[in-house]
Chains A and B, each alone.
Chain A
Amino acid sequence: MAPEVERELIRKCKAGDSRFYEPLVRAYEQPGLRLALGMMGNLEDAKDALQNAFVKAFEALARFDLQRPFGPWFFQILRNQCRDQLRSRKARFRLEALDERLELRPADPETGPVRYRERAKAREIIWEALEKIGDEHREILILKELQGFRYGEIAAILEIPEGTVASRLYHARRALKEALEEIGAPYP
């Protein structure tokens, strides 16, 4: 979505007209859902968090600075929402067949069923290791590798200096490496 269109929509939402919020929700729900899924581990809790985050973001639009992009600001709210849900008794990170659709997909004829099964097994092991590492480590890995955010964007979402992102990523990757070693699937 073009920044000026986004700003105009937000301006109208700030005036209290929620109809103009729909394009924003639709534009940000897919990346938002990926972030929430990475943090919550299952679709049901992720959708709950996403929905609540959109409602909270709308209610907080009065304080939103129109000079800033909406995305990182919204992802900050979403991340806090996921953390609140994980902290409360309402949810905990519960990994639930995140690769389900891939598992159900028929074997890729080019790679063959054996290779396909191997890759599926490898993914399963990585998910298992991701489940073992702390929320903070998992969160930054999801933002970087599954979402593909740049360091600057990650810093804005996590509300940390850009220089800290590399350090956090290093610790997260090390934690994942150790978790994989514990599972018995170390890197050579």
Chain B
Amino acid sequence: MSQPVTHEELMRYLDGEVGTEERSRIEASVETSTELRRELAVYRAMKDDLRTLKLNDGGPNGSVWNAVNRHLARPFGWVLFVVGALVWAAYGVYAYATSTAFLFQKLATGAVGIGILVLLASVIWERYRTWLTDPYRDIQR
């Protein structure tokens, strides 16, 4: 008497994932068992039905490459921008500090520059704190 066919074996048979020997054994069991034949017929019909489904992929013009490329190029662009800006800012500070301008001019200009940076940092910090507690932050659309 042959071994009973398990559900897993039946699936592998249905999907053509069995070897010749296993296939013969399963086919012999299917021949003799009405229940197994019925089960196989149901899953075969389901398989055929699932294969008729088609997915709407947005057509041939729907490539995501441009969007992906923007994401890939953006960080590199930001790194270049920030590094360049920092170098220029450092050079500007050095050039101004070692220039022949009066000391009060240097101090006043420095105060204006530092004031702008402090204000900018406080706004960014405030926005960040609001974002952390924003219940809608994950909603994109």
Q: How far is the CB of B126 from chain A (nearest CB, A)?
A: 24
Rounded to whole Å, the gap between the CB of A107 and the closest CB of chain B is 16
Q: Is the CB of A166 within 8 A of B68?
A: no
User: Known contacts being A18-B72, A126-B49, A170-B7, is A26 close to B15, with CB within 8 Å?
Assistant: no
B62 / chain A contacts, CB cutoff of 8 Å: 33, 43, 47
**B-chain residues with CB within 8 Å of residue A7 when the two chains form the complex:** none
Q: A97-B56, A166-B17, A177-B42 are in contact. Are A25 and B64 (CB under 8 A)?
A: yes
In A149-188, which residues have CB < 8 Å from any B CB? Answer: 150-151, 163, 166-167, 169-170, 173, 176-177, 187
Contact A177 B46 (CB under 8 A): yes
Q: Tell me whether A43 and B63 are in contact (CB under 8 A).
A: no
Query: Given the complex of chains A and B, what is the CA–CA distance between A127 and B54 in angstroms?
Result: 10
Establish whether residues B17 and A151, one from each chain, have CB atoms under 8 Å apart when the complex forms. Answer: yes
- Pick the residue among A47, A51, A119, A169 that contacts B11 (CB under 8 A): A169
**7 tightest CB-CB pairs across the interface, nearest first?**
A145-B50, A166-B8, A166-B11, A170-B7, A18-B72, A187-B42, A54-B68
A-B contact count (CB 8 A): 118
In the assembled complex, A100 has its CB within 8 A of some CB on chain B: yes
Asked, given contacts A90-B138, A170-B7, whether A47 binds B12 with beta carbons under 8 Å apart, the answer is: no
Closest-CB distance, A144 to chain B (whole angstroms): 7
B127 contacts which chain A residues (CB < 8 A)?
Answer: none
Per-residue CB contact flags for chain A residues 59-102 toward chain B (1 = under 8 Å, else 0) read 00000000000000000000000000000111000000111111
A170 to B50, CA, bound (A): 15
Q: Which A residues touch B73, using CB under 8 A?
A: 18
- A137 at interface by CB-CB < 8 Å: no
Chain B residue with the shortest CB-CB distance to A150: B17
Q: Do A33 and B57 have beta carbons less than 8 Å apart?
A: yes
- Say if the beta carbon of B53 comes within 8 Å of chain A: yes
B95 part of interface (Cβ distance < 8 Å): no
In the complex the two chains form, what is the Cα distance from A173 to B49 in whole Å?
Answer: 12
The number of chain B residues with a CB under 8 A from chain A is: 38
Does B10 make an interface contact (CB < 8 A)?
yes
How far does the alpha carbon of A119 sit from the alpha carbon of B53 in the complex, in Å? Answer: 10
Q: Does B27 contact A (CB under 8 A)?
A: no
Q: Which of A25, A47, A173 contacts B46 (CB 8 A)?
A: A173
Is residue B43 contacting chain A, with contact meaning CB distance below 8 A? yes
Q: How far is the CB of A185 from chain B (nearest CB, A)?
A: 10
Q: Mark B44-79, 1 if CB is under 8 A from A, else 0.
A: 011101111111111100111101110111000000
Name which residue of chain B comes closest to A151, CB basis.
Answer: B17
Besides the contacts A25-B64, A29-B63, what 9 more A-B pairs have beta carbons closer than 8 Å?
Answer: A18-B73, A51-B68, A54-B64, A99-B54, A123-B49, A126-B50, A145-B47, A176-B46, A187-B46
